[in-house]
């Protein structure tokens, strides 16, 4: 089983959107028994909350399920339980390295999946309100990630 963890700040906007989008792509590709996806935040402000209403609205419009998702914080055991840990921005990357301690090759910056994009961090729609922009990045990046997983692990 291949395990993927998306990480953002509060685990209510970007990382649950990525989780839902990748789960949807896994289902479409009939890989449900081979890849699991989760998300977490580096902060604790929203623990136990569902995804942000902007994320839920956007996913509902596209018939992408977010059922059962609630915000949680990154745990030290996540570094051994997940094959891919993908963070949304440099602050998340820095926080993950502090939790883990030092460099870790399994931590990937999300925008590294999309090298042709001018953005180098996924904007936080909690602050920008631009959930559509983030969805476009999630849709494109999750397709690249799924191809990467298929080539490297399946």
Annotated active-site positions, please? 8, 14, 124
Cα separation of 72 and 128, whole Å? 22
Cα separation of 75 and 112, whole Å? 23
Do 112 and 90 meet the contact criterion of CB atoms below 8 Å apart? no
Please give the distance of CA 108 from its chain centroid, rounded to a whole number.
11
Give the CA-trace dihedral at 117, 113, 130, 94, to 10 degrees. Answer: -110
């Amino acid at each position: 089983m291949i395990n993927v963890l998306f990480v953002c700040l509060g685990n209510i906007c970007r990382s649950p959107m990525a989780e839902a989008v990748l789960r949807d792509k896994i289902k479409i590709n009939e890989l449900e028994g081979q890849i699991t996806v989760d998300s977490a935040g580096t902060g604790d402000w929203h623990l136990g909350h569902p995804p942000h209403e902007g994320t839920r609205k956007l996913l509902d419009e596209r018939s992408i399920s977010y059922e059962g998702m609630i915000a949680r914080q990154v745990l030290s055991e996540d570094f051994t339980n997940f094959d891919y840990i993908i963070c949304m921005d440099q602050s998340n990357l820095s926080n993950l390295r502090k939790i883990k301690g030092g460099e870790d090759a399994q931590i990937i910056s999300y925008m590294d999946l999309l090298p042709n994009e001018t953005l180098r961090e996924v904007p936080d729609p909690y602050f920008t309100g631009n959930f559509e922009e983030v969805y476009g990045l999630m849709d494109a990046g999750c397709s690249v990630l799924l191809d990467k997983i298929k080539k490297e692990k399946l």
